[in-house]
Structure 1
Amino acid sequence: MTSSRAGALWEGQRSFDELGRPLRDLTFCVVDLETTGGSPTSGSMITEIGAVKVRGGEVLGEFQTLVDPGTEIPPFIAVLTGITNAMVAGAPRIESALPAFLEFAAGSVLVAHNAPFDVGFLQHFAALQQRPWPRFEVVDTARLARKVVTRDDAPNCKLSSLARLFGAGTTPNHRALADARATVDVLHGLMGRLGGQGVHTLEELQTFTSRVSAAQRRKRHLAEGLPHSPGVYLFRDQTQRVLYVGTSKDLRTRVRSYFTASETRSRMGEMVGLAASVTGIECATPLEAAVRELRLIAEHKPRYNRRSKHPEKTHFVKLTREPWPRLSLVSKVLDDGADYLGPFSSRRAAQSGLDVLHETFPVRQCADRIGPRTRRTPCVLAEMGRCLSPCDGSADEATYAAVVRQLRDTLLRRPDAVVEQINRRMNALADDERFEEAGVHRDRLAAFVRAAARTQRVGALSGCSEVVAARREDDGRWAVHVVRFGRLAAAGVIPAGADAVAYVEQLRASAETVRTAPGPAPAATVEETERILGWLEQPGIRLVDVLGEWVCPVAGATKELAVHERVRRSRDALAGTVTP
């Protein structure tokens, strides 16, 4: 009898474990954090915890507390969240706030939008307190939304966009409890959509993938001629127009995934529907593949690649070389001895960088040529003390030259003068709760810092006529790259048993001849040079030879990047906009 019943269960039924846990019966704890930065391992602290506990669509309770981070809140974060140092003074420290939250969340399924960020912070501080981390199951609404929300529904899967899509009762505003409440409504909206596709349990929710059409599956044969090797692949339509360019360590396996449930992006399904052929280009190393991808995207501008479409549209801030130097916006770098900052991602970003420099350094802003005998009525900027006014003889050459030297040092080596000036301004505005005005200064400073860091890092490598470097890959072989004036000129992998010195010399001899670009610009797109820098800065890199001087200032702008990138990611996640 027992055997017969077991057989019936196996043949026609599923056990309760297989059926899973119905979503309607589970308690979810939706949590959101505000922090002082992007990574707890680099010293960032929690400043606020907000959470909402729900079951079956009903709110069971809410949790909210400010947290004293034990350190100053950066002005960028204060502007973003509205949480100031005065607000957290006297608030609980994380040592008491975390246990209170864990008690509130006990027995729940944790939910967060971009869960690795929030859960990562909580786990980090639990470990610091030597507190056992409960075995929470976690649902990430951002990851879930990317599987079910199409571009026709919303422009992206950021919290603000999803809150609008699902008619959330709370508008996310970078405060923890408000964002958690908005995430509750997003969670319920996503569950409603998934319920219509047969998803009713937590197990089904966690393993859901988008359906793949029969027509999409029938195109699997397009991958059959591709090798199992690293390289670049190009999807083409019936007219041979390039639709999409990508890279992979295994061309055949990756391209086949576009015709199976492994590929869930709706726009890729649309692209595959138009594809008539796939071309593969084998590459010696992953870096060579990444560089080829950038070059092919720039050449073909495929409609289904969202990045790198117009690298030729660049903008720079130029410090001119003339008797009374000034700053100006330009679209090209010339070999004229001038100093350049950039490139910027847009003209608006370049203007922001220019504005922040003008706010810090009182150099002239007029485009007129000024000679030793020029005498004019000073402009309103001079009357406001924002220009040294050489046009009316108010400033002598030595005084003006000293300001220009400090400005040039800021562009090329140390951004401290700009950072300190704008931080003071932002702090004053934040103290007066004029957050919108402070935000304008924050965005201008971020544009400057990104461009200055890019100028200093890229310019250093672009000045070297040749850099040869090697790194041992996962398979034990050595990958070698030859870089000339910031452009990848050759790539190869030393064959097993080969003479390494002879191989490298042969690779150098056969490498592309590269002419230096004018001024400090690389002989490639900045994206390519940055990709090369990312490889060169990995652990385990061995420099075989360097022709030139490859140095980057220790006190340069790169050290200021982390907080600005955290602010940008956080703003993008909620505002649904792209920071220039």
Structure 2
Amino acid sequence: MPGRTRPDGRGAACTTLSDVVGSVRAMSSPRRLRPSHPEVPAPGATGVQVALDELGTPLSDVTFVVVDLETTGGRAAEDAITEIGAVKVRGGEVLGEFQTLVDPGGPVPPFIQVLTGITTSMLVGAPTIGEVLPSFLEFARGAVLVAHNAPFDVGFLRAAAARSERAWPGFQVVDTVRLARRVVLRDEAPNHKLSTLAALFGATVTPNHRALADARATVDVLHALLGRLAPLGVTHLEDLATATDPVPADVRRRSTLADGLPDAPGVYLFRGPRDEVLYVGVSTTSLRRRVRSYFTSAEKRGRMQEMVRLAVRVDPVVCATPLEARVRELRLIAEHAPRYNRRSRAPERMPWVRLTDEPFPRLSVVREVREGRAHIGPFASRALAQQAVDALHATFPVRQCTGRLPVVPSADAHACVLAEVGRCGAPCTGGQDVAAYAPVAAAVRDAMTGDPRDVAQAHAVRIRTLAAQERFEEAATVRDRLTSYVRGAGRAQRHARAAACRELVAARRTDDGGWELLLVRHGRFAGTAVVDRRTDPRPAVAALRAGGEHVTASVPPATAAHPEETDLLLAWLEQPGVRLVEVDGEWSSPARSAQAVRDAAAAVTLDLVVPRPALVDDAPTAPGAAPQRTA
């Protein structure tokens, strides 16, 4: 016969399902509940109550439902529940209890009867799991489930929900066995059974293989375990989710560095003992949650644990939008050059490929952009820049010597081997004069600033030839050379467009129907704003333009910003649904640009040749991209 226990601890028989439901509702009132955050301060009290969403959720404010089941066996898919017992607690206080026997639909095995004392006759007339489960789920709604060996109990509950065709709510689950393995050593207890831990911690209830008694004992064990975890930095619900992770204790204890951080997008700076910036990171959703992840096993990088051990505080920079947060991260990394950031910290060192300005131009890897010359890049490394140079050299008979050649060659000049094999016109010895060399330089200039098809097609043919000869390593080298060229040329062309645009205002719909506004000047982030759906965005656009950062014009194709910042802005502008609101200057791309063939070139493999028309003429336009004019 099912029964329940009231909050006053006295038992009473419960013979019907309605009585079970009624008893659960009655027991939901608190037994010794004290308000954690009184609305009226004590007389003479001062100070400001810190919001929970700024600190995370302290464990004292978390509602736990500690559950225990008795079953007919150990297999959730085949066996059935015979009893459910649960205790709802918060802040160390019992809010209510739930207990009922359950008709398993068949006899109870003899060894289970001996173990639990629950016989088949006791379950005659008890409600079925399909009748009990809705009441239990309502009792546990919004709480964190706790169980000793939680996979067993939760597995049975999930299987029961599936058989009843009821959706499982997806509770957060805490397993006291796993917590005990984290803080209870072998010299304290020979094992982590509930009876052993209850005796170790002096639980007020002795486990006896009955559901409610075992749940009550588990409550005492849970509180004892949380007390041991607190010195290790496990003080919030977010910590508890990863408390069983193998994180060094000194790292976990530093999780308090995340206390007080806002639940908003932005940038965070880990600072060392001399106030130096150790690391700069970004969160596009919640600074608090992102910083807390450094103190859990979610952080796998060894150098980050080293950084956390050195850090003494974390400074937040709250941003209006995720895009602003990413931009601020790049700027702060460039400003502080943190020792633990591996991202580009010196954009001025990123190499470019330049066609020199001299009677017989040549290709050179340089560190800065000069006006009036053709450039591609910037590249992440000099090696990638050299691959792009090799791609142009393999396509055009441009000279590869590094010295400046006179218009009139010297009498003792000698041609190199490239001239002998027909890869250079030998202007060094008079084989080509300035007029004859000019078309070669013009073709290289056009491939760098405009149409890349000659380079792409020559390399595609070379890849096919090498693949047919099964010279796959050489084919891969040619492929990488082509990829570096196309990426560098495409980046330069896109950046040149942004650098030449004095001002651009764009807007994108937010999820709540408002607008996210972006101001870009010469390829640099100059401001942002967010307006809700009930606000006219036009005054916000005017205010953004008036109060945006003043940006000095750059020398195209270099923009006035870190190259990666410009990449971020262009990616945002090319999202589906972005609208151009104001454009001061030209916003266009060449009809046959390197960017147009970049995706097609990436598809070139060891055994595939992209036909010439497909490289440009058939390149699809991204649906919903920001509007552009074609020059």
TM class, shorter-length: 0.5 to 0.7
Moved more, 544-553 or 213-222: 213-222
CA distance in 2, matches of 1:18, 1:493: 51
Task: Please name the residue that 1:344 is paired with.
Answer: 379
Q: Are the aligned partners of 2:348 and 2:367 in contact in 1 as well (CA < 8 Å)?
A: no
For residues 259-338 of structure 1, what are the structure 2 equivalents within 5 Å? 259-260=295-296, 263=299, 265-335=301-371, 337-338=372-373
Q: Between Structure 1 and Structure 2, which shows a larger proportion of helix residues?
A: 1
Q: How far apart are 1:396 and its partner, in Å?
A: 4.4
Q: Secondary structure at the match of 1:540?
A: coil
Q: Conserved in 1, the CA contact under 8 Å of 2:513 and 2:533?
A: no
Counterpart CA distance in 1 for 2:278 and 2:546 is 35
The 5 Å alignment of 1:149-168 reads none
Structure with the larger RCO, 1 or 2 (CA within 8 Å, 6+ apart): 1
Question: Residue type of the partner of 1:461?
Answer: A
- What residue is the counterpart of 2:162 in the other structure? none
Correspondence 1:52-67 to 2 at 5 A: none
2:271 paired residue among 211, 216, 236? 236
Q: Are positions 1:436 and 2:473 aligned together?
A: yes
Cα distance in 2 for residues equivalent to 1:292 and 1:411: 31
Q: Give 1:415 deviation, angstroms.
A: 1.2
**Cα distance in 2 for residues equivalent to 1:289 and 1:9:** 46
Q: Residue by residue, what CA displacement relative to the aligned partner does 1:196-216 show, whole Å, maximum 9, x if unpaired?
A: xxxxxxxxxxx9984334433
- CA distance, structure 2, for counterparts of residue 567 and residue 236 of structure 1: 46
Q: Does 1:402 align with 2:448?
A: no
How far residue 257 of structure 1 moved from its aligned partner, in angstroms, is 3.4
Structure 2 counterpart of 1:314, one-letter code: M
C-alpha deviation, 1:533, in angstroms: 0.5
Aligned match for 1:532, one of 532, 545, 569: 569
| Structure 2 equivalent of residue 381 of structure 1 | 418
> How far apart are 1:389 and its partner, in Å?
1.9
Task: For 1:351 and 1:453, locate their aligned partners in 2 and report how far apart those are by CA, in whole Å.
Answer: 16
Deviations 1:432-452 (A, max 9, x none): 222222222222222111111
Of 538, 543, 558, which aligns to 1:501?
538
2:75 & 2:269 partners in 1: Cα distance? 46
Partner SS for 1:357: helix
Are positions 1:16 and 2:52 aligned together? no
Q: Is the counterpart of residue 225 in structure 1 residue 260 in structure 2?
A: yes
The SS at the match of 2:347 is coil
Structure 1's 353 and 395: CA in aligned 2 closer, same or farther, altered over 3 A?
A: same
Match of 1:362 in 2: 397
Kept after mapping to 2: 8 A contact 1:362/1:386:
yes
- TM-score of the aligned structures, taking structure 1 as reference length: 0.60
Indicate conservation of the 8 Å contact 1:210/1:264, yes or no: no
Q: Which residue type is aligned with residue 489 of structure 1?
A: A
SS of residue matched to 1:344: coil
Q: Distance in 2 between matches of 1:14 and 1:242?
A: 57
Match of 2:498 among 451, 454, 461: 461
1:232 CA drift (Å): 0.9
User: Could you say what secondary structure the match of 2:69 adopts?
Assistant: helix
> How far 1:13 sits from its partner (Å)?
11
Paired amino acid for 1:259: F
* Residues 209/297 of structure 1: CA separation in 2 closer, same or farther (3 Å cut): farther
Question: Cα offset for 1:522?
Answer: 0.7
| Partner of residue 552, structure 1 | 589
**Which sits farther off after the overlay, 273-282 or 244-253?**
244-253
Q: Provide closer, same or farther for how the CA distance between residues 215 and 366 of structure 1 changes in structure 2, counting only shifts above 3 A.
A: closer
- 1:413 and 2:457 correspond: no
Instruction: Give the fraction of aligned pairs with identical amino acids, expressed as a percent.
Output: 50
Q: What secondary structure sits across from 2:378 in the alignment?
A: strand
What is the aligned partner in structure 2 of residue 247 from structure 1? 282
Query: Matches of 2:600 and 2:557 in 1, distance apart?
Result: 27
Q: Return the match for 1:258 from 268, 288, 294.
A: 294
Measure, in 2, the Cα distance between the counterparts of 1:398 and 1:498. 63
Q: Is the 8 A contact 1:209 1:264 kept in 2?
A: no
Q: Deviations over 1:40-60 (max 9, x none)?
A: xxxxxxxxxxxxxxxxxxxxx
Q: How many Å apart are 1:473 and its aligned residue?
A: 1.5
Residue 262 of structure 1 deviates from its aligned partner by: 5.2
Aligned to 1:492: 529
Q: Distance in 2 between matches of 1:14 and 1:502?
A: 69
Q: 1:263, 1:480 → 2: CA distance?
A: 34
* SS across alignment from 1:474: coil
The residue correspondences of 1:34-183 to structure 2 (distance < 5 A) are none
CA distance in structure 2 between the partners assigned to 1:263 and 1:377 by the alignment: 60
Q: Given residue 279 of structure 1, which amino acid in structure 2 is its aligned partner?
A: D
Conservation of the 8 A alpha-carbon contact between 2:499 and 2:556: no
TM-score, scaled relative to structure 2: 0.55
Residue 305 to residue 367, structure 1, CA distance change in 2 (3 Å)? closer
Cα deviation digits, residues 527-556 of structure 1 (max 9, x gap): 010011110001111111111112223432
- 1:364 alignment partner AA: R
Aligned residue type for 1:290: R
- Runs of 5+ unmatched residues, structure 2: 4-66, 79-241, 606-631
Residue aligning to 2:250? 215
**1:510: which partner in 2?**
547
| Cα distance, 1:2–1:212 mapped onto 2, change above 3 Å | farther
- Structure 1 residues 394 and 543: alpha-carbon distance in aligned structure 2, compared to 1, 3 A threshold: same
Aligned partners of 1:493 and 1:521: how far apart in 2?
A: 29
Moved more, 349-358 or 248-257: 248-257
| Whole-angstrom distance in 2 between the partners of 1:501 and 1:324 | 53
Deviations 1:55-83 (A, max 9, x none): xxxxxxxxxxxxxxxxxxxxxxxxxxxxx
Tell me how far apart the structure 2 counterparts of residues 209 and 558 of structure 1 sit (CA, whole Å): 48
Counterparts in 2 of 1:269 and 1:383: CA distance versus 1, 3 Å: same
| Cα gap change, 1:389 to 1:277, in 2 (>3 Å) | same
1:291 partner letter: V
Gaps of 5+ in 1: 20-206, 569-580
CA distance in structure 1 between the aligned counterparts of 2:497 and 2:591, rounded to whole angstroms? 12
Number of equivalent positions: 379
C-alpha spacing 1:260/1:358, structure 2 compared with 1 (3 Å):
closer
Q: CA deviation at 1:218?
A: 3.0
Mapped to 2, the partners of 1:306 and 1:386 lie a distance apart of 40
